[in-house]
Structure 1
């Protein structure tokens, strides 16, 4: 076990799946954010690209990322996921490795994606969900979006024609403004163990430092404190007095392995997007919470 991150040289290896095929709307910005946040803390983050034809050996990685792409790019990726990476991906997820899957990556980790034209693309079925594209006559889900993530907010940009519907899967969050999974039921994304699917693109981690650090913390705790924590924290849902459910973020008794950073610019960008969506109360609350927490550092 590591009791003090300052006395140890921490390192992580991130597997970036299909960096050439699935990189729409700045999804690489999520990788750059993780690299920068590690660099500022003296943590080595090695990024390894995994393209079509490359096997995925789960023991070689600490977290995984898969971005979004157009339908024509997703077809060969869907085939490769099953033929080359499926077993390794499942092993990693069942061992609680953190995985972030954005847009097309999210769709391909669910049961299937049904495009407007052509055959269904079979997914891995990690998330109990499915996606259907209803054709060009139905407007795309496009624009800025804000969701409720536990008792906090996540902001980002979405642009997808497919509508995703959840079976028993827990959503990542609830839509405050924007479309989310399907523009119907106010859900956004999906969760299975420490795998997170979402439609929020490359502005996700740059404008949500708390979520970026959450992924890094999960990866570090899994790697360095695995012997003391057999169950890496996972999300739960709790019933409210009105009978609905809300996300309850996991807590861990293990000490954080991440040094605090000055995220003033990130939180200002987060609040600015909330303001652009007309969520002025939420924006003020975010800035107030950041100021209060920074004073405690």
Structure 2
């Protein structure tokens, strides 16, 4: 049976990579985003890879539009099995240099967009008592960094929303599952299309990972949604653990390194496109899944493999302990 999947923010970055992997396994994929050019290219990706695409132009900040999109998906493709919330926007700037309209817009897209998608999915999944919702999170859902106050605030809000909703579904003994995937820095086009007031070009903080790795983690989470969340990359695990133990030390560390670490040595182009209010693909080029940092990005993560193979690691660890005990016992005998 063909699975029906929905991906918001499907025209670029992680969403684009996720859509391709869903198509590889034969899903019908509803692609939701604002930019028609990117959506058309994403739909062609899905079609070439064996999936059935349904591109829908929608702004996730508009709940009625998101709900209408969900209704269209069910009418044209069938009951939704999987909904992946990924769409976002942001501003690279010190908080004091942002307008309140920019902060509000970032919140409406990046936080409320997830809330809107989740509600549209639940309204259809709960009566059937089945379905999975995956929230694309970030290490920044736990640890805020300078120059991204609106984005970090939105990701923190998604984290709290996810935890509350998961507890409610557990209370109701629902078979609808929700899980969250906390991402590291990923090589996506966002750094060339997010509104920026930085003097130099924005960049992800190393280590950087490729969007295909992130997409693989999302599909694994979708297929194993009983876990409340997944961490992708050693940097995510390290950041979250350090923030739990020494958050004040991280404040000071990021105050010293967070400004330079998020900028390249090249000056920002004054006419760089910004997708806060309008889609950036209107500039005439499909931006795909990758950003400008292929030469630095990693395609693998041992931490991700370990997080997905707890049983194997436990069995190996237990075997080593048993072997060690047997060896010691044999020596004493």
TM over 0.5, yes or no? Answer: no
Q: TM-score, normalised by structure 1?
A: 0.36
Q: Comparing both chains, which one has the higher relative contact order based on Cα–Cα distances under 8 Å and sequence gaps of 6 or more?
A: 2
Q: TM-score, normalised by structure 2?
A: 0.33
Higher-helix-fraction structure: 2
